[in-house]
Amino acid sequence: MEFALTDEQIQMQESVERFLAETSNLEYVRKTTNEGAVHDKGLWQGIAEMGMTALLVPEDFGGMGMTVLDAALIQEQLGYRTAPVGYIPNAVLAPIAITEGGSDEQKAKWLPALAEGSLNVAVGINESASGSRDGAGIKAEGGKLFGRSLFVLGSQDADLFIFSTTNGELYAVEAGAEGLDLSELNTVDTTQAVFEANLNDVTAEALNARDDLLAELIDIARIMFAADSLGASQNMLDQAVAYSHERVQFGRAIGTFQAVKHMCAEMAGEIEPSRSLMWYAAYSCSDVPEDRSLMACHVKAHISEISRFVARTATEAHGGMGFTDELGLHYWFKRIGFNRQILGGPEKTREQAARLQNWIA
């Protein structure tokens, strides 16, 4: 049996890679995030023009009707370039939530705009995935929402917000709704926007066509963040290898030193098998749904661990320069750190994997 990407998937990923290489370079990321995390509209428009915002929108609503694996390949490239855009909430979670949970009217209203990239969406499901902090969590009463959602994925200037409640329901809230208060939430990573939402008697529309929709969204989001960290890890390895060819000590490039060779080889050895794990986890969402939740836990936990190792080792391979702003390695380092904890860290996801296999109660 051969499990590999199709020619079309490879070409799509390469097209996005070329586009981001030209648009989302280090100087662009530094300039864009200088004043805080953003969902950069200029870069997002370019991604939309390539059709990448339409991947998971059904064809009936102007989309391409493709799979989570296709989206994960795009997210890997966005992580490689630490692109400051909210692809996960806008192009992945929102289309799935509305397609599988929305009414005919909601689909007709929002899906075409999602496909063309003109609807900006933020998604707050972190409490449902990683557990609520004190005072956090949203409750629904009579079509109204009350409570607090932390680490909402996306930007505060979103046109539409999707929130999960403490009992597993999903609701959509339009921007400007009375009682919706948004505030900045700073994290270590300035390339991905998150914020805090406080809701008091906020009118909302239910997205509950399926009881297990929230669980599916959490699984897919975990896979996407794993793909993002995989891309960031590959970039840090590539930078370490390139630097080892350029940096000279004692009259020799440091890449000729056995210790540096071992560092780079070990990073590559951790990254390469993780890529097939990510592929299968994403593939399972559409083709092996019974494996989806377990694979989402495994890939999130495993890539969180190996990406932290790569981030540390690649920084060390640069010596003292690795810690400076000049090289900008910290953008990838911090993005990997954020991805590790959002929607549950390795300890949380491994515990859930154990429960799924009935190893613990």
Backbone angles phi, psi at 141, to 5 degrees: -140, 115
Q: How far is CA 13 from CA 77, 188, 292, in A?
A: 7, 28, 23
Q: Tell me how many degrees the CA angle 136-139-140 measures, rounded to the nearest 5.
A: 155
Q: Give the ranges where 117-167 is alpha helix by DSSP (H).
A: 126-130
What size, in residues, is the chain?
361
Look over the chain and give the mean of its residue pLDDT values, rounded to a whole number: 95
Q: Do 150 and 133 meet the contact criterion of CB atoms below 8 Å apart? A: yes
pLDDT level of residue 1 (50, 70, 90 thresholds): low
Kindly state the average pLDDT of the residues 311-333: 92
Closest CA to 45 of 57, 37, 53, 33: 53
User: Distances from the Cα of 145 to the Cαs of 132, 139, 155, in angstroms?
Assistant: 16, 6, 20
Mean pLDDT of 21-40: 94
Q: Which pLDDT value is given to residue 36?
A: 87
What 3-state DSSP class applies to 24?
A: coil
Residue with tokens 């597993």: 168
Distance in Å from the first CA to the final CA of the chain: 36
pTM, rounded to two decimals = 0.97
> How many whole angstroms separate alpha carbon 276 and alpha carbon 229?
14
| Two tokens, residue 150 | 């932390």
Q: Take residue 346 and report the two structure tokens written for it.
A: 């390795």
Sequence-distant (6+) residues with CB within 8 A of 160 are 94, 110, 119, 120, 121, 122, 172, 173, 174, 175
Give the burial class of 35: count Cβ atoms within 10 A of its Cβ; 0-12 exposed, 13-18 middle, 19 or more buried: exposed
Q: How confident is the model at residue 211 (pLDDT cuts 50, 70, 90)?
A: confident
Q: Looking at residues 200-219, what average pLDDT do you find?
A: 93
- pLDDT given at position 352: 96
Virtual torsion, Cα 314, 320, 326, 328, nearest 10 deg = 20
Over the stretch 240-284, which tens digit does the pLDDT of each residue have?
999 998 888 888 888 788 889 999 999 999 999 999 999 999 999
pLDDT value at position 193? 96
pLDDT per residue over 58-117, tens digit each? 999 999 999 999 999 999 999 999 999 999 999 999 999 999 999 999 999 999 999 999
Domains of the chain, CATH where assigned: 7-119 (1.10.540.10), 122-206 (2.40.110.10), 213-356 (1.20.140.10)
Tell me the C-alpha to C-alpha distance, in Å, between residue 81 and each of 72, 85, 138, 215: 14, 11, 34, 29
pLDDT at 275: 96
Q: Which helix (H) or strand (E) holds 46?
A: helix 41-49
